[in-house]
Amino acid sequence: MSKNNIVYSTNPNFEFEEENEDVETLSKEKQQLKVTIDRKQRKGKSVTLITGFVGKKEDLEEIAKELKSKCGVGGSAKNNEIIIQGEFKEKIVSLLIQSGYLKTK
């Protein structure tokens, strides 16, 4: 176990817990993705938010790249969320279902 981060604690029973970032990506059929429109803390601009992804960061970024190109807009993928600029809820739901993400809402 490598300890990359420094942790200071006054608790004599403190145990260092390493985060497991290599989460195995669930298959497309098992992913339960939720697509919503979000305007909070975005200066009045709307974004389409895809949440519920379980898996590796690389796989999340690949899905985000595909959705951004098919919608013709920008966005980002972080914290197991995909943010697509603009309101594309119906289009993204249909694109995800066509790609095999059958449990998309």
Q: Tell me the DSSP string of 37-105.
A: EE-TTTTT--EEEEE---S-HHHHHHHHHHHHHHHT--EEEETTEEEEES--HHHHHHHHHHHT-TT--
Any idea how long the chain is?
105
Asked whether residue 47 is assigned to any structural domain, the reply reads: yes
Asked whether residue 68 is assigned to any structural domain, the reply reads: yes
How confident is residue 9, by pLDDT bands cut at 50, 70 and 90?
low
- Cβ-proximal residues to 32 (8 Å cutoff; 6+ apart), any chain: 52, 103, 104, 105
Return the pLDDT at 3. Answer: 52
pLDDT greater than 80 at residue 10: no
Asked whether residue 3 is assigned to any structural domain, the reply reads: no
How confident is residue 94, by pLDDT bands cut at 50, 70 and 90?
very high
**Residue 40 structural domain:** 34-99
How confident is residue 1, by pLDDT bands cut at 50, 70 and 90?
very low
Q: What is the pLDDT of residues 22-60, one digit of tens each?
A: 668 888 888 899 999 998 888 889 999 999 998 899 999
